[in-house]
Structure 1
């Protein structure tokens, strides 16, 4: 009588760019049972959320078009990973047993509780539900109503630019300098575009209070604001800490350079919620897909009894949309430090649209042909001062 082969159960927690690609890549083996757990029934294309709030694009996709045959989608929220029982506990009361977990819960918008009124009256734009709130509010506001965007990183700039191009009255509060991750020449280009489109850029300004109809700055200036959009910083879900796993100060799961948890070699993290050696990569879609592929390969290596490979991803820069007809492409070294080289104009707007489409194309390609996802290689990262992350862990 033939012996039935062992089926390896893998639960992927989180259906963003990294988790969805990882789920598809796990199908390189036919003895792996893959379950993807996600709280929403549709994929959120986060790179397009600034378009969604402005009404210039959509930001969801059907999982049926993204997941390969055999990947089971469970629409639910994970509340705890029970490492002793090897169970993922779900909000519905259902439990999923596993041999391995890929931890891909992603990142969230983060509004500081230390700023009075911020959690009540400011709205983040980094998640689907809050983006819906922003869009609904915009639909009700007259075009001349003052809008404040807090945070002048790439998310804040893209959101401000999208709305300014439509003729909205926008103030962009930077905190420090405008677009600090970009080179000086690229920042000047972005600044010129914002100025031409009437955006009031307040550098070295800090919001100390948010009111229903205004923001208060550290210098005491009170500026009218019919809608305050918070785009300053990100957080991560607390699932890892709730599950008794060690995290960095932000809550990202601490792993080694193969993305394996420093506490449990059956849990592999990826995307924005992973902190390899306590030194995470920049939160970005650019890094998410390669990290998703690497996490899946780590799990497959452990199933095969071979040594997993370490992270070997190289950044290439950043692409920032400035409305629908302009943008800047910042080039960077492999370690993500900016070069003083950039492109701008309509060609970059077209390039940014292509990169957005490629985000979903890569996932679909992996669904059709598991193992096909390429990425720019940077070789193993430089030796980390804390090899397993333990010295920087927080509990």
Structure 2
């Protein structure tokens, strides 16, 4: 029998889990975790609503709407300048490279769960010859004492705010200022991996410029938290950003046109950024309700409780395969999407998922969550 999907370019939902999950989510009437997935047509149509003059010409090699976005980010963070990057990985590598050149020290202090260690194939070492040192292995940001007692002189302290792999955890404001001061006492510069920095203001009780002012440079993402297509920005002193743009070109990041990503980023700044405090408040309700709904399940837990941002982890004592199948079946049979993907950290029979609040989640009450979890649990062995 011929494959009807072969001529359309679509994946067969019977053999492609991503397509099956996408279709199940799209058909749901209620969605607790994550933003509603958009089709290509919807994505393209949404760009027409971006807060920018669409009668202007497209950007070329970083001017036009891309330059406008850079100015907007610098203004939001209170920095002298900002540079748009196609990927956060590139922005991070360029930032660490520039600081190593400026400090004359290739050693970077970072957490072993930080993005460059876990998700970038050790690019900082392979491409630039940098080395890392870990102030702590605990699932939290390092404290001032740990930074002060490092036995090697380091040129840059990189702090991921929030630390995603540990559960989107953040220090207190006093802890953050103390660890930055400890790095300064070691004559080191401070770089914030702020892919999700946008969502930290409520926890810290500070504005974005106040938070960014603690660091010498800050990286932010446009597709994480803000729902953009792709892209990131590196913000800091004008002299550093000029150097970063030179390395951006060398790394292949001087794309001819990037207007779709820039327009989507501007849209996220306009629509999602103001709603993040509301999402955090709802995340605290959802986390407490999920903890209660699974209270009788040995090994189940929400972390951290309460959440530090609008994202948190849910740990359950089943395999990722079993939990993912139950999630998709719940969506297909009940029209309710509770959880996204599950991962296994290496502990037998234990999996976790990241629960993310966005606009669709706001309609869920504690009663709704309890009822949906009961249906979800009925699908588990």
* TM-score under structure 1 length normalisation: 0.28
Identify, as 1 or 2, the structure richer in strand: 1
Identify, as 1 or 2, the structure richer in helix: 2
